[in-house]
Amino acid sequence: MENNNVFISDNFLSFGYTTMKNKHNEKIGYLDLKTAFSSGAAVYDDKQVKQASGKLASFSNQWTVYDHNAKCLV
């Protein structure tokens, strides 16, 4: 079974684009944390095309995840 880990180097409470890398330290995309205190994020591929996004419901620990067409997945 192949290991598909994604590594994200980021500081707590930061926001904006953060590079995502694979286990070979190759850039595979970006994570966009909307704001430091927001519960939204988006995932982009290496060409900066949005692949998915998500929001954490208020007072909950459950994420709502959307695909690149804004179709709710979870």
Please give, one letter per residue, the 3-state secondary structure of 28-49. EEEEEECCCCCCEEEEEECCCC
Residue 28 covered by a domain: yes
Dihedral, CA of residue 18, residue 23, residue 25 and residue 26, to nearest 10? -80
Could you list the pLDDT tens digit for every one of the 74 residues in the chain?
566 888 887 765 677 889 999 999 999 999 998 776 678 899 999 999 999 999 988 888 888 999 999 999 97
- Would you call 22 helix, strand, or coil by DSSP? coil
Output the pLDDT for position 52: 96
pTM (two decimals)? 0.77
Q: In terms of residue numbers, what domain contains 35?
A: 7-67
Residue 2 covered by a domain: no
Output the pLDDT for position 13: 63
Number of domains in the chain: 1
Residue 72 covered by a domain: no
- Kindly report the length of the chain: 74
Residue 1 covered by a domain: no
Residue 13 covered by a domain: yes
Best CA proximity match to 20, nearest among 36, 34, 4, 35: 4
